[in-house]
Amino acid sequence: MQPHSPLLQVTGVEARIDDSAVLRGIDFEVRPDSVFCLMGRNGVGKTSTLRSITGLLPVRRGTIRFEGRPIHRLRPEQRARLGLGYVPQGREIFPMLTVEENLRIAGVARGRGIGDDLDRVYTLFPVLREFLPRKGGNLSGGQQQQLAIARALLTRPKLLILDEPTEGIQPNIIDQIGDAIALLRREGGMSILLVEQYLDFCQELGDDFAIIERGKVVANGPMESLGKDLVRTYLTV
Ligand SMILES: Nc1ncnc2c1ncn2[C@@H]1O[C@H](COP(=O)(O)OP(=O)(O)OP(=O)(O)O)[C@@H](O)[C@H]1O
Ligand SMILES: [Mg+2]
């Protein structure tokens, strides 16, 4: 990979669910060591975009490159192995497993132990160490989100993909998740692709943004260029 080439490059992506064109032209690039925010109102295609990147929604047209290599024909587990870590909307931890078991599963996915990396996620989210023996399903929504992010981090992704991590979560945990994202960004070695409707969170953490409207990217650029007009037209309800 060239030093300045994008980590992820999504070009002209189109996808359908049943008979409807849910993605009609998705274009954006995520730079190395950066936080990218994908924004837009409800139902515009944000989650579908992430699913097309991770391999859960087939790409009908367009290309997705990761570290310069086309990945849009690979299976989801092949893409995961290349370094895509995905935390779906609504988290999806294992409710009947303990916190510790939920974390250890990441090691299975990765094919080796996670020993030292556990300390790193406990530093980011101290509550997880405290609740190791608890069932995942007994944590609060925000704690489950932290667990889901921790689990994705333990697979050592090059791109961490988060779908609305602040949705339905109490403000103090939103702050902790924001702090964790900021810390991970400072550490480098990984980019974060964040789908988020909470504008302040994006503006605080994001380096670049794209806005989706009815399946198309209608605006993108550095976060500083996200002005009031764009916010009014595409983001406020
Ligand atoms: N399984 C499905 N079957 C049929 N239509 C679907 C399905 N999943 C999504 N859609 C439709 O595809 C469009 C895009 O949905 P998507 O979930 O990608 O939007 P989103 O931007 O993530 O929305 P939200 O902000 O509510 O999470 C919506 O119009 C939705 O109704
Ligand atoms: Mg969604």
Would you say residue 104 lies in a domain? no
Would you say residue 114 lies in a domain? no
Residue nearest to atom 28 of ligand 1 (CA): 43
pLDDT at residue 116, rounded to an integer: 77
The string of pLDDT tens digits covering residues 224-235 is 999 999 999 999
pLDDT at residue 178, rounded to an integer: 96
Residue 100: phi and psi, rounded to 5, are: -60, -45
The pTM assigned to this predicted structure is 0.94
Mutate to test the pocket of ligand 1, among 19, 46, 50 (most ligand atoms within 8 A of CB): 46
Reading the block at residue 119, the tokens are: 């300390």
pLDDT at residue 109, rounded to an integer: 63
Q: How many angstroms is it from 20 CA to the middle of ligand 1? A: 10
Average pLDDT score, the chain:
93
Percent of the chain with pLDDT over 90: 86
Q: Would you state the torsion angle of the CA atoms of residues 226, 145, 16, 59, taken in this order, to the nearest 10 degrees?
A: 80
Ligand 1 pocket by Cβ (under 6 Å): 17-18, 22, 40, 42-48, 89
Residue 140: phi and psi, rounded to 5, are: -70, 165
Write the burial class of residue 143 (CB in 10 Å: 0-12 exposed, 13-18 middle, 19+ buried).
Answer: buried
Residue nearest to atom 12 of ligand 1 (CA): 22
CATH number of the domain within which 58 lies: 3.40.50.300
| Total of domains in the chain | 1
Span 25-42, average pLDDT: 97
pLDDT at residue 148, rounded to an integer: 95
pLDDT at residue 107, rounded to an integer: 72
pLDDT at residue 110, rounded to an integer: 63
pLDDT at residue 112, rounded to an integer: 63
Span 102-113, average pLDDT: 74
Those residues whose C-beta lies under 8 Å from the C-beta of residue 180, and which sit 6 or more positions away, are 124, 125, 146, 149
Residue 119 has pLDDT above 70, yes or no: yes
Would you say residue 148 lies in a domain? no
Q: Print the domain residue range for 46.
A: 1-83+190-237
- Alpha carbon distances (Å) from 144 to 35, 87, 97, 166, 177: 22, 11, 12, 11, 12
Would you say residue 93 lies in a domain? no
Would you say residue 102 lies in a domain? no
Those residues whose C-beta lies under 8 Å from the C-beta of residue 58, and which sit 6 or more positions away, are 15, 52
In sign, the C-alpha dihedral spanning 89, 90, 96, 102 is positive
CA–CA–CA angle 22, 12, 208 (5° rounding) = 95
Residue 96 has pLDDT above 90, yes or no: yes
